Homo-oligomer: A and B are copies of this chain.
Amino acid sequence: MTSDGPRFDTRLDRFVDNYANRTRGMRVSAVRALFAVANRPEIVSLAGGMPNIKDLPLPDIADDLAQLVRDNGTQIMQYGSGQGEPRIREQILDVMALEGIEANADDVLITAGSQQALDLVSRIFLDPGDVVLAESPSYVGALGTFLSYEADVVHVPSDESGLDPQALHETATRLEADDRRIKFLYTIPNYNNPSGLTQPWERRIEVLRVCEQHGILVVEDNPYGLLSLDAEPIPAMRSAGADVIYLGSFSKTFAPGFRVGWALAPHAIREKLVLAQESATLCPPVFSQFAISNYLDKQDWKGQIGVYRDMYRERRDAMLAALEDFMPPGSTWTHPKGGFFVWVSMPEGVDSQSMMARGVDARVAFVPGGAFYADGQGARNVRLSYCFPTVENIRIGVERFADVLEGELDVLRTFGVHSPTPHPGRVAGPGPDLS
């Protein structure tokens, strides 16, 4: 080892042998590296999961916040409750009531965004080698967190109605026969990230029944539930089952920058979550909680969700129309009834990971499907998001994406179909751009 002096010493990792085992599950993914490139302005990004908050009433929010600081500054800038402030926990009951949930504010824990709820649930349940069941495909950020706790993610197949209860039963039975410890099922029943699929009500009941039969706790992640684009929201799984940890968020129905999400959990689990929260941060962001509480009191938050719905509906329709117009034959895609994402399945032999670099050349970005699996599936898939770009750019982006796929298919026709190499270990910390 050479040293150029103390400043440069730090570039060498003298502590490389000291890291905890769990850091092996923390890697910068190839996807992330390419994302940095894809952030250039000439590129149409169908990759990000950022909500489009351009229509928020900023002047009103500014005035409300200033008043709040003048009147209650020493309270909202002080340390707060480890569980979260009582008032916002009450207000969250009103939000969840829109999806049929009846609950007690004492069973709600506030988290630094819904991602932190995933982290704290993982923290209290997952030992190395434990199994987490997840949909096929599932949210990259959740998979990364489960892997960072050295858990094994086992994917359960989905059909057009989302998670398949029969496949869930078979998977659980097989794992039990192998003496594996299944700690919970992680599921996104509404407008799944990345698939865009929604579980109908009957399906939710079937999934709950299978979980009850196997004694499996359900973690229901629902960031997009109120962003239904065609009909009223389907009641949450939590409305029909007690053994459910329900995760909610203000990131998509208001704004993500405050980092306020929540977990509604059975009482004993909630107690452990509060201890975990105190160890992790002492208390979730206090100022943020009061800011959102104030927004819910002062502004027409339900009306704002309506504004968001109208905007996202127009964008979803633009993406589906463009896919219909431009995609070469042999591909299929989901028709989401809400949320942010369309999941595209391309012909056998296509490798979406290698397409990504060509996409950047063609000035379009998307997320290769492999990111949403812990086991190397997804090579034939991509996730396209319509939440952030304009209607015009969505159309341009889809056309560019279709061109890239055409080129890929040309290559395949010339050189023959090949079985793509799986890319295990591509899952990593999701980064805000993949949320």
Report A's interface with B, CB cutoff 8 A. 6-7, 9-16, 18-23, 26-28, 50-51, 53-54, 56, 58-59, 61-63, 65-70, 73-74, 76-82, 102, 107, 112-113, 115-116, 119, 123-127, 130, 141, 144-145, 148-149, 181, 183, 215, 217, 242-243, 251, 255-259, 266-269, 271-272, 274-288, 291, 428-433, 435
CB distance from A237 to the nearest CB of B (A): 13
CB distance from A185 to the nearest CB of B (A): 13
Q: Which 8 pairs from chain A and chain B are nearest by CB?
A: A13-B268, A278-B429, A77-B255, A79-B432, A257-B286, A77-B257, A62-B69, A66-B66
CB distance from A111 to the nearest CB of B (A): 8
Question: What is the chain B residue whose CB lies nearest that of A388?
Answer: B78
Known: A15-B269, A61-B69, A280-B119. A20 touches B288 (CB 8 A): no
Q: Are A287 and B258 closer than 8 Å at their CB atoms?
A: yes
Known: A113-B281, A148-B276, A288-B285. A257 touches B76 (CB 8 A): yes
Determine the chain B residues whose CB is within 8 A of the CB of A74 once the complex forms: 53-54, 56, 58
Determine the chain B residues whose CB is within 8 A of the CB of A107 once the complex forms: 10
Q: Are A256 and B79 closer than 8 Å at their CB atoms?
A: yes
This chain: copies in complex = 2
Complex Cα gap A201–B66 (Å): 43
CB distance from A134 to the nearest CB of B (A): 16
Determine the chain B residues whose CB is within 8 A of the CB of A130 once the complex forms: 20
Partner of A217, one of B15, B258, B281: B15
Q: Are A269 and B13 closer than 8 Å at their CB atoms?
A: yes
Determine the chain B residues whose CB is within 8 A of the CB of A433 once the complex forms: 79
Question: What is the chain B residue whose CB lies nearest that of A79?
Answer: B432
